[in-house]
Copies of this chain bind each other. A is one copy, B any other.
Amino acid sequence: MANDAKDAVTLRDVARAAGVHPGTASRALNDSTRSLVRPETVERVVAAAGTLGYRPNYLARSFKTHQTRSVGVVIPDIANPLFPPMVLGVEDRLTAEGYVTVLANTQNDARRRERIFAEMLERHVDGLIVATAQREDPALVTLAHSGVAVVLVNRIVEDRSFSSASVDDAAGVRAVVNHLVGLGHERIAHVAGPQSMSTGYARRQGFLASMRSAGRPVDPDLVVAADSFTIEEGERRAASILGRAALAPTAIVAGNDMLALGCYSALEQAGLRCPEDVSVVGFNDMPFIDRLNPPLTTVRIPHYELGAQAAQLLVDQLHQPDVPLKVLLLVPSLVVRGSTAPARAPVQVG
């Protein structure tokens, strides 16, 4: 039974060994104060710390300085394969900067999110990386007012009062629509994501704008919005389109890959083939989506990079509190796979 760290070496021990006052030892050992100490003294202290195997007590330091060198990462759904690579990017960057990652997942539940925010504050995280922003998000604004540094990733708040790393959603959808139009599609449906989130909203707006630019009239019966970015919602909404329209669409633009998977299911239920009868496109290019049946045409976004950039924004903010807000928009690219094919005559349904 090792005795925890009861017998740990403290700063006093180091000071004694080096023949200096604890205050001096502290200054010698800290980057920001080292310059205040005579080089020879620094050397002596560092040597003493080395031989004694001194490890500063983070708890004491945090207690004193109110900094924990920890960052909370709040995601909506850890089971959505979009997020793990993003978290990985965050974690890599944060670890490199000496921060620790406290992960929490809201399960798309607002109450749960509130609790997480409160707890993160109580834990005195130095900052937060939030992937659960709503277009209007009073809770998040309140949080930021409490003084913690907050950076948004993937989704953004509309008033742009946060630094963020996200993706040019409209550009992504434009590429999708152009691709489908190029394949001769006329009746193009959209299963949009939740309109309360910037991603769901911007992609839908982008869809409507691109269709207009391409001179394709949008049949209102072919545009629906899901309540969440889940397979189930995708299936349900796609089914409603297929059930409502007399003519099936020849292509469906899904708000993201999860919704696209739902579209696959709905098509199968309706006895329609993808891509022979209906093309489907997703958004995100999440892991393994290229190995599906059929492989999904989708918009590739740099998951890892998104996380890493968000982390960098936060670190910058922590190191220099008056740094200006920065909105980073990464450019996505279309990846064409087997789920899209040239348009044929629309299938009669219903």
Query: Which residue of B60, B84, B101, B287 contacts A63 across the interface (Cβ within 8 Å)?
Result: B60
Within 8 A of B (CB), among A80-97: 81, 83-85, 87-88, 91, 95
A68 at the interface (CB under 8 A from B): yes
Point out the residues of chain B lying under 8 angstroms from A159, CB to CB.
none
A213 at the interface (CB under 8 A from B): no
Using a Cβ–Cβ cut-off of 8 Å, how many residues does chain A contribute to the interface with B?
46
Chain A interface secondary structure, helix, strand, loop or mixed? mixed
Point out the residues of chain B lying under 8 angstroms from A55, CB to CB.
122
Point out the residues of chain B lying under 8 angstroms from A145, CB to CB.
2
A146 at the interface (CB under 8 A from B): yes
Within 8 A of B (CB), among A110-153: 119, 122-124, 145-147
Residue contact B147 to A2, C-beta cutoff 8 Å: yes
Within 8 A of B (CB), among A30-67: 55, 58-60, 62-63, 66
- Tell me the bound Cα distance from A5 to B294 in angstroms: 54
For the complex formed by this chain, how many copies does it contain in all?
Answer: 2
Within 8 A of B (CB), among A272-319: 287-288, 291-295
A26 at the interface (CB under 8 A from B): no
Residue contact B122 to A103, C-beta cutoff 8 Å: no
A335 at the interface (CB under 8 A from B): no
Point out the residues of chain B lying under 8 angstroms from A294, CB to CB.
293
Residue contact A59 to B292, C-beta cutoff 8 Å: no
- Tell me the bound Cα distance from A266 to B101 in angstroms: 38
Residue contact A91 to B104, C-beta cutoff 8 Å: yes
Point out the residues of chain B lying under 8 angstroms from A287, CB to CB.
79, 81
**Nearest B-chain residue to A98, judged by Cβ:** B119
- Tell me the bound Cα distance from A205 to B199 in angstroms: 49
Given contacts A5-B147, A147-B1, contact A100 B81 (CB under 8 A): no
Residue contact A105 to B124, C-beta cutoff 8 Å: no
Q: Which 8 residue pairs spanning A and B have beta carbons closest together?
A: A293-B293, A63-B63, A103-B103, A4-B147, A59-B63, A2-B147, A78-B84, A78-B88
Q: Please list the residues of chain A having a beta carbon within 8 angstroms of any beta carbon in chain B.
A: 1-5, 55, 58-60, 62-63, 66, 68, 70, 78-79, 81, 83-85, 87-88, 91, 95, 100-105, 119, 122-124, 145-147, 261, 264, 287-288, 291-295
Query: Can you list 27 A-B contacts with CB-CB less than 8 angstroms, sorted by A residue number?
Result: A2-B146, A2-B147, A5-B66, A5-B124, A5-B147, A58-B122, A58-B124, A59-B59, A59-B62, A59-B63, A59-B124, A60-B63, A62-B62, A62-B63, A70-B102, A78-B85, A79-B85, A79-B287, A81-B288, A88-B105, A91-B103, A91-B104, A100-B123, A101-B104, A264-B291, A291-B292, A293-B294
